[in-house]
Amino acid sequence: MVLKILGLTDLHSRGRLEIGGLKRIEKEKIDLIAVSGDLTTFGNPKKVKKVLEELDKLNKPIFYVPGNMDSGDSDNIEFSNVKPLHARIRNFQGFNFIGLGASNPTPFNTPNELPEEMLSLLLEKALEERPNDDPLILISHTPPLDSEADKIRDGTHVGSFCVRDFIEREKPIMVLCGHIHESKSISMISETLCINPGAGAHGNAAIIEILLDEQGKAIAKAEFVNF
């Protein structure tokens, strides 16, 4: 069994999925699209809804979390293919997807920032709803602290402590994040694959494959793609 995920983040209302994306999704036989936040730039729910409505037309299951640039009340929008994941857990094809939107505090006073303590509580709230022991996958807007995915241009790490703690404690197969455009990366945190695909607004994405080996252990790998 192989699960193929298209990982997107930081679309900022300018994702380039309309033409090339459709062909790529069909060619790669994508099972699920995961969007890890910043669908807009200072967008209210109406603007977030418009972006998600366009993604819904891709006719693939989609999980999303809002980012710090999306309004805090844009975390419950749903269409036939689009399902919100912020502070929730959903099972898909034998994997438990857990979501965390918003971001830890930034210097820029963006619309959807939360203290680390609240981000931690939201993750714990979602984890309490875990339906079974199926492998865990984290979709988080904010990258984990002290990783390849959270470095700004001067090399400073600005990710979330609680996301890092969650990864080290719960050991998900992978985390898909975003937020820091310049930290496009694929790396490992212990046994967890950490992916920041880079801004979808500039045509960046990642294709992630998750498979089960002969012992039933889940293995994840990823590659960057462009649209």
Tokens representing 36?
A: 């890890």
Domain range summary for the chain, segments of one domain joined by +: 2-226
Is residue 136 within 8 Å of residue 173, measured between CB atoms?
A: yes
Whole-number pLDDT of residue 17: 66
pLDDT for 2? 87
Residue 145: both structure tokens together: 């602290």
- Percent of the chain surpassing pLDDT 70: 96
Name the pLDDT band for 85 (thresholds 50, 70, 90): very high
Q: Judging by DSSP bridges, how do beta strands 192-196 and 185-189 pair with one another? A: antiparallel
Q: How far apart are CA 128 and CA 110, in angstroms?
A: 29
Q: How confident is the model at residue 27 (pLDDT cuts 50, 70, 90)?
A: confident
The values of phi and psi at residue 53, to 5°, are -65, -40
Backbone angles phi, psi at 175, to 5 degrees: -125, 130
Q: Mean pLDDT over residues 5-22, rounded?
A: 79
Token look-up 């509580």 returns: 121
Does residue 128 contact residue 138 with C-beta atoms inside 8 Å?
A: no
Q: What is the mean pLDDT of the chain?
A: 94
Distance CA 145, CA 40 (A): 24
What are the tens digits of pLDDT across the range 112-158? 999 999 999 999 999 999 999 999 999 999 999 999 999 999 999 99
Pick the CATH number of 2-226 from 3.40.50.1820, 3.60.21.10, 3.90.380.10, 3.40.640.10: 3.60.21.10
Is residue 48 pLDDT above 70, yes or no?
yes
pLDDT of residue 15 exceeding 70, the answer is: no
